[in-house]
């Protein structure tokens, strides 16, 4: 499925982020998901498309946590759902243990669906308010053939204990629980079919900061105990740092950087990653953070900028005198340093000195705006 996709759109950044297949649990290849925008008099004419995911390739290794970050609307949830086949892809392919899954029929998908689960962002909206905890957590096992009520109840009790909930909660309803407890119910539901791969879609974003680390620790413990593999989605780089082995950074439907945690946080290769990291609050009050404030809003995914999608906001391009190439040629994801991939023509120019200068320019720009404003 390489090269071109339906609707004749070229796919950039393909074929990278791949690994020897023995190490790979999930393989994502040139994945595209466009949502059609319809209009015209009858509202049926196709007048455009939201390019939510636009040619993304990477692998998730068995047993690892791959963090996926990027601003709201960049395509993270869509990517997670397409990988799980909860929504159909426009083009591209997903491999599970080396087997392409997009051509499989419903029956062939049954064991694969069991192996791949999701924990949703919103612990309020994702649980049916009219079902008890027992029914919610036991639903998957029932659908997949565990028909004995007693066995199901035993399983649910075991799962509740695993996620730190009281077994006596089995007959209660979601509204009787706090946000953190509801997310534990969501996690128990995801684990009920003993999956290997779990997409955690911003599982702590809706929770109080004091509860976030408890839920993160729980996910960490479960991974150790059950040998799970996670795709862990967040909009905040600080949240994924401690839980991830590698991190992917998305911008407007594209993967712009993919690297192991330490190099990504200590020596980011893509200018966008640099800017995202500069927005993470410094926890040590004695240190002063170098902030790079990005100009303008994120462009619409229905009309992404040509060339490099980040070029309308890129601080590095500005420092380099606005090279034309950024606005015309789409940069492919490439290995900038061993194991560290970035989609930027000029990634080698990202240095501590360049970042320092850009943050000074950014700050003086802000001061000037404040003075004027
Ligand atoms: N069902 C849908 N129909 C149309 N557009 C959608 C749909 N789901 C998501 N989108 C659009 O796709 C883009 C990516 O959305 P999403 O994957 O939810 O981003 P994220 O999870 O990173 O915030 C957004 O512009 C969003 O509005
Ligand atoms: S390719 Fe150009 S615009 Fe894109 S990130 Fe690199 S320097 Fe910035
Ligand atoms: Mg989302």
Per-residue model confidence as pLDDT tens digits over 14-36: 344 444 455 999 999 999 999 99
Residue nearest atom 14 of ligand 1, based on CA coordinates: 75
Residue whose Cα lies nearest atom 27 of ligand 1: it is 73
Distance 317 CA to ligand 2 centre (A): 6
Biggest CA–CA distance in the chain, Å, is: 71
Q: Is the CB of 72 under 6 A from ligand 1?
A: yes
Rounded Cα distance, 247 and 237, in Å: 9
State the pLDDT at residue 116: 97
**Residue of 31, 36, 50, 74 with the most ligand 1 atoms within 8 Å of its CB, for mutation:** 50
**Ligand 1 atom closest to residue 80's alpha carbon, by position in its atom list:** 17
* Ligand 1 atom with the shortest distance to the CA of 253: 14
User: Ligand 3 mean position to 99 CA, how many Å?
Assistant: 27
Mean pLDDT of 236-255: 94
**H-type alpha helices, 116-196:** 133-143, 149-162, 179-191
Strand ordering across the sheet containing 91-96: 45-61, 24-39, 91-96, 99-100
CA nearest neighbour of 131 among 182, 201, 203, 198: 182
pLDDT (0 to 100) of residue 7: 35
In this structure, of 39-43, 209-213, 352-356, the range with the lowest mean pLDDT score is 39-43
Average pLDDT of the residues of the chain: 90
Q: How far apart are CA 275 and CA 320, in angstroms?
A: 16
Could you read off the pLDDT of 311-327 as tens digits, one per residue? 999 999 999 999 999 99
Tell me how far the alpha carbon of residue 373 lies from the centroid of ligand 3, in angstroms.
34
Highest mean pLDDT among 35-39, 121-125, 318-322: 318-322
**pLDDT of residue 11 exceeding 60:** no
Residue with CA nearest ligand 1 atom 3 = 35
Residue 343 near ligand 2, beta carbon < 6 Å? no
What is the rounded CA–CA span in Å between residue 373 and residue 363?
Answer: 15
Q: Is 251 in the pocket of ligand 2 (CB under 6 A)?
A: no
């Amino acid at each position: 499925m390489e090269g071109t996709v339906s609707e004749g759109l070229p796919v950039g950044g393909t074929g990278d982020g791949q690994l020897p297949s023995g190490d790979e649990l999930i393989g994502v290849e040139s994945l595209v998901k466009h949502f059609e925008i319809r209009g015209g008099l009858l509202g049926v004419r196709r007048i455009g498309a939201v390019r939510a995911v636009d040619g993304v390739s990477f692998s998730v290794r068995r047993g690892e946590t791959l963090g996926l970050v990027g601003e709201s609307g960049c395509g993270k949830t869509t990517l997670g759902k397409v990988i799980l086949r909860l929504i159909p892809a426009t083009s591209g392919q997903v491999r599970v243990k080396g087997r392409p899954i997009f051509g499989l029929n419903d029956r062939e998908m049954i064991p694969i669906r069991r192996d791949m689960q999701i924990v949703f962002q919103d612990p309020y909206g994702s649980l049916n308010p009219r079902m008890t905890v027992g029914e919610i957590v036991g639903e998957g096992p029932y659908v997949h053939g565990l028909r004995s009520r007693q066995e199901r109840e035993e399983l649910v009790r075991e799962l509740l204990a695993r996620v730190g909930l009281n077994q006596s909660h089995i007959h209660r309803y979601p509204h009787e629980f706090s946000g953190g407890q509801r997310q534990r119910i969501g996690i128990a539901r995801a684990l009920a079919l003993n999956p290997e791969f779990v997409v955690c879609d911003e599982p702590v974003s809706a929770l109080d900061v004091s509860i976030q680390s408890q839920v993160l620790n729980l996910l960490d413990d479960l991974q150790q105990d059950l040998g799970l593999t996670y795709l862990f989605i967040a909009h905040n780089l600080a949240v994924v740092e401690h839980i991830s082995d590698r991190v992917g950074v998305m911008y407007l439907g594209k993967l712009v950087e993919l690297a192991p945690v330490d190099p990504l946080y200590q020596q980011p290769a893509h200018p966008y990653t640099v800017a995202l990291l500069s927005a993470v609050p410094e926890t040590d009050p004695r240190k002063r953070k170098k902030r790079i404030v990005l100009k303008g809003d994120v462009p619409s995914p229905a009309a992404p900028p040509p060339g490099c999608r980040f070029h309308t906001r890129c601080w590095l391009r500005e420092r380099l005198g606005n090279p034309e190439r950024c606005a015309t040629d789409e940069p492919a994801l490439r290995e900038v340093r061993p194991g560290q991939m970035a989609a930027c023509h000029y990634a080698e120019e990202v240095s501590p000195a360049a970042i320092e200068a850009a943050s000074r320019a950014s700050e003086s720009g802000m001061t000037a705006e404040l003075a004027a404003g």
